[in-house]
Structure 1
Amino acid sequence: MSALDVRADLAAPTRGRRPSLLTWTARSTTAGPLAALVLAVVVFSLTTDTFLTLDNGSLVVEQVLVTGTLAMGQTLVILTAGIDLANAMIMVLGTLVMARLAGGGGLPGLLALLVGAALCAALGAVSGTLVTRLKLPPFIVTLGLLSVLTAVSQLYADGESFAVTSSTLTALGHRSYLFGRIEVTTGMAVLAVMVAGLWFALTQTAWGRNVRAVGDDAEATRLTGVNTRRTVLSVYVIAGLVYAVGAWQALGRIPNADPNAFQTGNLDSITAVVIGGTSLFGGRGGVPGTILGTLVVTVLANGLTQAGIDSLYQQVATGVLVIAAVAVDRLVRGRAV
């Protein structure tokens, strides 16, 4: 039995006692972001004439694709009580490599895509190795990697952007219509498959249980026989592959690789993860909540823009949500001890 299972058993309510609202919230990490999303949709539907339309709904989902993908990789890392400040720059460098190899490099689009994905996975492995072997704090490791990759991206691109001409690299931007009215892209289907796949891996496999257990109590998990180093390293590598899919999503949305793109992508992904109910202290949360968190942030920005609210107030609202989410998580974990 893992350390996470032991803590869950200890935190379980006494038989016959009705669980409190706080206990129920602690178990259902998606309840908070789902309620916030429903509330935002209702408010903006009543206060604006253009929010609740098919076109705007499709736009909101499209805006979720890149940040949501980044946030899924971030979720895996945060579940181990780590953090990845370099995720957006890993993705940006991936877009540059893919676009340049398929353009001036003359490689087929599929091969350029695979090379870019391998690079993202390798960069994830670098972070994971430094964290697991040298015992360096994830914050410091990924902050340093962020600085390095920002410079490398500028040097590799020589400060320029690359137009993407490969149909393979832009495939996730392909549009079609459901029932002749609802606009969808291939990227939306890919995001849905990734959410389902990562949810299954985290909830239905031994690997997923180990990931949560490491975040909950790494030392106790190690003492139960779990190779915690291998588990954490695998998380960073898989997160790197998720960032590669984010690069593919980005090229599908805008067929242009720019070294200056997604400057706040790392913070946006952390915001989505926290609002989605994943604990910054590790061991609690998951990708469905992260996607809900991404939708909350996106709907908030979209709705406030349509209501004519200054973008500075949008940042204030998002910041308040993040602080509230962390405060609630801290309270819940304190009650569970």
Structure 2
Amino acid sequence: MSRPLISIVIPVYNVEAYLERCLDSVLAQTYRNLEIILVDDGSTDSSTQIVDRYAHKDSRVVVIHQTNGGLSNARNHGIDVANGEYLTFIDSDDYVATDYVEYLYQLLAKNNFQSKLALCSLKTIFTQTGGFIDAGNGSEQTLSGEKAIEMMCYHDLVDTCAYAKLAKKELYDKVRFPEGKLFEDIATTYKLFDQCETVECGFVAKYFYMIRGNSIVTSGFKPSKLDLLAMTDEMASYVNQKYPSLKAATLRRQVYARFSTLNQMLTVTDYKAERDEILNFLRRNRKAIMSDPRTPKRDKLGYLMLTFGFNFYKLAWSGYLKVKTRKH
């Protein structure tokens, strides 16, 4: 137990079908000196009883029962009570490899703990089809904080997600998740990277991210999903001011946010003004994005689909999505 205490914060809300798989993967961690903080965010299903049962099973488990305040509020509460020197997040409907924490810790150890943050890759699993995408390439790199932000903006191995990262708890002294907002990760991860001279990256999938039919990502459009645009623009404004050389990268991320939001709006007939604003942004920036050699193929494909009009785009995107998520 001479190694530092690591706190794992797991927000829990009505995930009874997935929670035990998540918690079993955490209790099985090869890194043993853990504080496992389960924030029960006002669950109305049996999740409440499940977390209490796991607390009785393992003394490392700490349970907080609170009135529903949303994902960001639950994460923030977990940060406030965490006692660990390092902190990581796991979502309660996902799960992790048994060496998830150990792997991230060893990434930091390799450079004698000069870095304050380590990250690994995700394996995204589409539960409806059984398909998956492994975002890693097996490499390990030490990046500057600025380079990590750049790669994040291009979706180049580095992800915006709050999970699949192990950070010194002190980094969260200046970072809190925006409460009452969706897609809160885009508002926080760049602020963590910005505090780091270096970031240890292991592009190996140790975190298993489950996309379900009723998740935030796949559920139908609602106005709160426009939060992604505002937070992405806020990120771009901050990064452009501090790192002017990253303007092309942040513009790509802004374009990606528009495509992502547009894809959520394909089956709705209202919100025409919001959709037109998104389309106008995409058109204004088409030349810059298409001429950027680092723009991912997905974005360029989106622009090619739009060339033939919005109705064609709707049909073409639906076909692309089926190919992307089909079982391997």
Scaled by the length of structure 2, the TM-score of the pair is: 0.27
- Higher RCO (CA < 8 A, seq sep 6+): 1
Scaled by the length of structure 1, the TM-score of the pair is: 0.26
Higher strand share: 2
